[in-house]
Amino acid sequence: MKCRAIPVFVLAAGAATFALAASRDSIDNIGETRLKGPLGEKLDRMVAGHVIGTDVDYITAPFLEKTETKGWWQTEFWGKWMHSAVPYSVYTGNAALGASIDHGIDRMLASQEKGGYIGNYPDALRCGEGWDVWGMKYTMMGLLHYYDLETGNGKRVTGNGLPAEALAKAGERGERALEACKKLCDYVIAEIGPNGRRGRELWQTGNWSGYASSSILEPVVWLYRRTNDKKYLDFATYIVKGMSEPESGPRLVDLALKGVSVADRNGYGNKPDAHGGYVMKHNRWKSYEMMSCYQGILDYVEAKSAELKGENGELRDLRKAAITTAEDIVKEEINLAGGCACSEAWYHGARKQHLPYLRLHETCVTTTWMRFCEKLLEVTDAPKWADELEKTFYNAYLAAMKMDGTEFAGYTPLSGNRWHGQHHCFMHTDCCTANGPRGFLCFLKELCRNDGKTATFNFYASALVKGFDMYSLYPRANYARIVSHTEGPLVMRLRIPAWSAKTVVKVNGAAQEGVKPGSYFSVSRDWKLGDIVEISFDMPVVAHVIDHSVAFTRGPVLLARDSRFADGDMTEPFRRGVVADGKRMDGFSAVRTPSDDIWMAFSATLPIGSHHENPEGANGLAVMFCDYASAGNLWQPSNYYRTWFPIEYGPEE
């Protein structure tokens, strides 16, 4: 079995620039990073127990059956798995995972019809209601991930020790995957593209005012990047017009530019669905699919700008719509755990996070938000998107992952229990378990990017990265140490989190000037082997108050009380007037964790209790907190937790 431990962007001279743009979608930067410490252990467990453990025959079987009549989404699971399986095969070099990838590709190629269709819907139901186009989106992604793995922009990766015959065979299989993707995209164009056979436009298929089907834009742009065939860019332009122009369509541009918040976009040009059903045809508040569309829009802007050799007004509007929407999501929807959405719908959740809303933090939404932030970071180079990605990763994302890495929860409430996800589409899997491993990739790929001239550190975790060795217990501790393994001139950029008011950076023991929160701090020098950079973060516990409820964060981490501590009633109120929004809390201390299943533990003496009119009751109460990701992670009904706590009311309120 061939080893896949070589990153795909090691190409012949002259091809590197285009290949980087094409391969960043799946493999870029993975082969140069080795995560260590607690996060490395979590990643290793997830890859072994989840990604490598996936039954590929099971998730590809629906493509061979073609019996879907209920309009469901069985055909998304293989493509999602490929998005993680391919880069993790590069990361680990695991032969069993490589064999599973090859086997799955063989089954997928065998399932393709002469006309190009790959899916499980009978002809009469294709490209209509339901999730057929959505499934083809993920199939295209899976095929293109495989193409990147085996060919690297049409040129076989060299230097991995494979004999010439094996290289040729692998390259041939990769080309077949690309051809299959082209045929599938051609099928979609012929059916629901301009003047398509089905007599309907792409945005008119699927659900959520066309969001679901329109999100196929992302792999269509990927396909254009890998083929340079303009018909795919033209099709992408057609999809974008459908996203933005029809009065009853997705309206992803004009509503954003008008400042309409994501939770308020229903009912423009159509009558919103009023029923309480989970899937809706006309509403526009579906978070997962909306963000997937904006991800594709940003890819399209890049590709179209390259063709035009610059941005025109239309492209600037598209970019602005995506960024404006993301900023609105941060302001109106993201909670202290970096999660968002109730039943995957936008609902102005940031101001309501202290209330017991149902179905919070769907893992698909969490992963898609992380991917959106990763793309925004790439496009804007603004560290605030790394701040957001980090908050989501350490809280909502890690909270959703089971301790042994084998599955992801469907939803992770801010207070309550962790529990298993659903069974979807008469299968023993679900969208969240399939999507979960993709989220870790966002963190892994953006940990450190080093192009030989600039090394940008976005996150601080123990790892070997290109040119450097980083040691850190962050965010449990507030310190990171980076040692140079490189020599020569290079600019090191360090993300200084916005929440760290006073960050100290030292180079070989000398404190640096000009370190500012919410920015990148650059160290430009002629590096020597063994040079040391140290970063110390200001990481207080801060109170957050909403409408007589309080929660606490420490750096990027949301804190929670957990039933395992057995330290009293979690519903007891905080005393009136003693906590305030934004207050730094001095009563918290990091302590030894009581067991291996809790990552971070803190002891706090707090003004809790409803009987504080007597001398004994007036004393503070000693309670324990842990990080939100550890809270409830036994996945047992008896293991419950809480992040928001009540504050007393007075008689005049």
Per-residue pLDDT of 557-614, as tens digits, reads 999 999 999 999 999 999 998 899 999 999 899 999 999 999 999 999 999 998 888 9
597: its two tokens:
């299943």
Q: Give the residue from 129, 21, 27 showing the smallest Cα distance to 69.
A: 129
Per-residue pLDDT of 94-135, as tens digits, reads 999 999 999 999 999 999 999 999 999 999 999 999 999 999
φ, ψ (nearest 5 deg) of residue 64: -85, -20
pLDDT of residue 3: 34
pLDDT of residue 154: 34
Enumerate residues 6+ apart whose C-beta is below 8 A from 533: 481, 482, 483, 484, 492, 494, 505, 506, 507, 523
Whether the Cβ atoms of residue 555 and residue 526 lie closer than 8 Å to each other: no
pLDDT of residue 25: 56
Q: What is the mean pLDDT of residues 466-487?
A: 97
| Residue 10 in this model has a pLDDT that exceeds 70 | no
pLDDT-wise least confident of 270-284, 399-413, 476-490, 564-578 = 270-284
As a whole number of angstroms, the distance between CA 30 and CA 32 comes to: 6
As a whole number of angstroms, the distance between CA 56 and CA 529 comes to: 45
CA distance readout (Å), 56 to 52, 86, 122, 147? 10, 13, 22, 18
Running DSSP on this structure, what letter comes out for residue 639? -
The Cβ-side half-sphere exposure at 330, using a 13 Å CA radius, reads: 17
Task: Return the amino acid letter for 47.
Answer: V
pLDDT of residue 168: 67
Query: The pTM is what?
Result: 0.94
Place of tokens 């050799």: 309
Q: What is the mean pLDDT of residues 259-288?
A: 93
Secondary structure class of 186 (helix, strand, coil): helix
pLDDT-wise least confident of 374-378, 422-426, 578-582 = 422-426
CA 45 to chain centre: 19
Q: What is the mean pLDDT of residues 367-391?
A: 98
With a pLDDT cut of 90, the percent of the chain lying above it is 85
pLDDT of residue 172: 83
Running DSSP on this structure, what letter comes out for residue 73? -
pLDDT of residue 430: 85
| Residue 5 in this model has a pLDDT that exceeds 50 | no
φ, ψ (nearest 5 deg) of residue 7: -65, 145
Whether the Cβ atoms of residue 80 and residue 88 lie closer than 8 Å to each other: no
With a pLDDT cut of 70, the percent of the chain lying above it is 93
As a whole number of angstroms, the distance between CA 281 and CA 279 comes to: 7
pLDDT of residue 432: 86
Q: Which of left, alpha, beta for 228 (phi over 0: left; psi -120 to 50: alpha)?
A: left
Query: Over the chain, what is the mean pLDDT?
Result: 92
Predicted confidence band at 163 (pLDDT cuts at 50, 70, 90)? low
Q: What is the mean pLDDT of residues 489-497?
A: 98
pLDDT of residue 164: 65
As a whole number of angstroms, the distance between CA 303 and CA 305 comes to: 5
Residues 473-488 as b/e (b if ≥16 CB within 10 A, e otherwise) read ebbbebebebebebee
pLDDT-wise least confident of 83-92, 121-130, 276-285 = 276-285
Q: What is the mean pLDDT of residues 421-442?
A: 89
| Residue 509 in this model has a pLDDT that exceeds 70 | yes
As a whole number of angstroms, the distance between CA 44 and CA 37 comes to: 11
| Residue 8 in this model has a pLDDT that exceeds 50 | no
pLDDT of residue 153: 42
Whether the Cβ atoms of residue 435 and residue 73 lie closer than 8 Å to each other: no
Place of tokens 């909270």: 399
Q: What is the mean pLDDT of residues 156-168?
A: 52
pLDDT of residue 167: 60
